[in-house]
Amino acid sequence: MNVDIGDEEKKGDVLADLDPEPYQLELNKINAQLVKAKDGVVTSRAEYQRQKRIFEQGAGAKRCLDVAENQYKSAKSSVNVQVAILDLKKRDLRKTKLIAPPELLPATWKLLRNRMDDVKPELPQGTIAPMVDDTFGDTSVATIALWSDGFSMAKMHETARQIRERLNLMDGIQKIDFNGVQDERIYIEASSARLAQVGIDLTDIGRSFQEQNILLPGGEIKINDVEFIVETQGRFRTIEEIGEVLIPITGTQATIPLHDIAHIRKAYVEPVNNPADYNGHLAIVLSVFILSGNDAI
């Protein structure tokens, strides 16, 4: 303990310390396992690409390609597991220091949120609910702009997540926010005339998706106190699968594939939402925040 009864402490003061050595040793162990898992991804990806080239040239068996693909997917899943475990171990290490919080601020924010929730039912229909932001005073110590003329926003977002994972391994990092990320959407475009011609209503299309694109829980897996939810295969993975959805024709027993009556495309939210610009390029900006008491230099 670093304080005695009756001492006056301010926000950020260290009240108590636990021995961090066992937590640091555990963190180092997980770090080593993560490095090994990432090496496995590199190796399995190279083998998968090799088998894919051989198969496309007609010189390899589909079974060998499937095995290589499954090993590559398994290696990526192993990395995700190690990253999740690493995050937990980092939290455990941070908890070895008991920091004095602001005296009443958390309770004040909670009270404000409760009050905002109370007035939501009284707001006019279509009104955006009030939002309470208790992080507006946070100031980033570094901003990183990520852009590329040769890659899509989805590829840049994937790279940004990888950068965030690496930065989170550094001591003193509180959080890393993204700005400028554009969400992807699947657009289904059909003319009213075509739908009327075949006798299909928009509600028929919506009902078909609700019945087929369903995720059902398949159980849970616990690994080192990390809980993973297992889901059955129900979601669409490609645009082609969406196009194969059978839409019932009203008043008959017949059905028709969606791609025969509608155009399906994958694009970003239109119009662009809160874009980030860097020297005239659409970019993703990473804002780095550090924990109180750490040196930003």
Per-range mean pLDDT, top range of 1-10, 123-132, 253-262: 253-262
More confident residue, 17 or 33: 33
Rounded CA Rg of the chain: 26
Q: Is 14 in contact with 1 (CB distance < 8 Å)?
A: no
pLDDT of the residue at 284 = 93
Question: Residue 89 and residue 25: Cα distance in Å, rounded?
Answer: 10
pLDDT band at residue 283, thresholds of 50, 70 and 90? very high
Mean local confidence (pLDDT), 159-181: 88
Please choose, from the candidates 198, 170, 187, the residue with its C-alpha nearest in 3D space to the C-alpha of residue 94.
170
pLDDT of the residue at 226 = 67
Mean local confidence (pLDDT), 210-230: 65
Least confident stretch, 121-135, 178-192, 282-296: 121-135
pLDDT surpassing 90 at residue 135: no
CA dihedral 53, 44, 74, 34 (to 10 degrees): -150
CA dihedral 104, 105, 109, 114 (to 10 degrees): 0
Phi, psi (rounded to 5 degrees) for 236: -80, 140
